[in-house]
């Protein structure tokens, strides 16, 4: 994906393996999400992270958009890097980014409130 990081023109690249299961009941249950994911306005990611690494958020959104409807996402193991010149490209060469994600189960059940409780030992810092 072509991108600009400051004054540098770069290419953001994702490479790896994605496992999909076609024709599953979960694929049917995720039809609404898959339809939404095909929209050009679809964006996946945390807004705070997207502000810092917008290129990566857009690239992952594009990957999900292209995969939507092809099957239920079971797992992925992908690496990202920048190609071109500039500080971010050099940093990506020195500190490669790898994302491994595995879904163990899908459920249409509502997420319970305790899933959003901050674990013991952590605290909220207001900025």
Note the pLDDT tens digit of each residue in 85-109.
Answer: 888 788 878 887 888 888 887 777 8
Q: State the Cα–Cα distance between residues 53 and 114, nearest whole angstrom.
A: 30
Res. 52: pLDDT tops 70? no
What pLDDT is stored for residue 77 in this prediction? Answer: 93
Q: Which carries the bigger pLDDT value, residue 34 or residue 46?
A: 34
What pLDDT is stored for residue 62 in this prediction? Answer: 77
pTM exceeding the 0.85 threshold for the entire prediction: no
Query: What residues contact 9, with CB distance under 8 A and at least 6 apart?
Result: 2, 3, 84
User: How far is Cα of residue 36 from the mean position of the Cα atoms in its chain?
Assistant: 15
The 3-class SS string of the chain reads: CEEEECCEEEEEEEEEEEEEECCCHHHHHCHHHHHHHCCCCCCCCCHHHHHHCHHHHHHHHHHHHHHCCCCEEEEEEEEEEEEECCHHHHHHHHCCEEEEEECCCCCCCCCCHHHHCCCCCCCCCCC
What pLDDT is stored for residue 46 in this prediction? Answer: 54
What pLDDT is stored for residue 17 in this prediction? Answer: 93
Q: State the Cα–Cα distance between residues 56 and 96, nearest whole angstrom.
A: 13
Q: State the Cα–Cα distance between residues 92 and 15, nearest whole angstrom.
A: 14
What is the band of 53 on the pLDDT scale with cuts at 50, 70, 90?
A: low
What pLDDT is stored for residue 47 in this prediction? Answer: 59
**Mean model confidence pLDDT for the chain:** 79
* Domain residue limits, the chain: 2-109
Note the pLDDT tens digit of each residue in 55-92.
Answer: 777 777 777 778 877 888 889 898 888 888 888 788 87
């Amino acid at each position: 994906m072509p991108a600009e990081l400051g004054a540098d023109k770069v290419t953001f690249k994702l490479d790896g393996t994605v496992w999909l299961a076609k024709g599953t009941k979960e694929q049917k249950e995720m039809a609404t999400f898959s339809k939404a994911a095909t929209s050009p306005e679809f964006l996946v990611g945390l807004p705070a992270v997207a502000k810092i690494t917008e290129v990566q958020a857009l690239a992952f959104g594009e990957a999900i958009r292209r995969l939507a409807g092809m099957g239920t996402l079971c797992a992925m193991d992908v690496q990202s890097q920048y190609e071109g010149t500039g500080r971010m490209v050099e940093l990506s060469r020195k500190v490669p980014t790898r994302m491994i994600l595995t879904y163990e189960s899908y459920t249409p059940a509502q997420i319970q409130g305790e899933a959003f409780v901050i674990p013991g030992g952590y605290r909220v810092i207001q900025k």
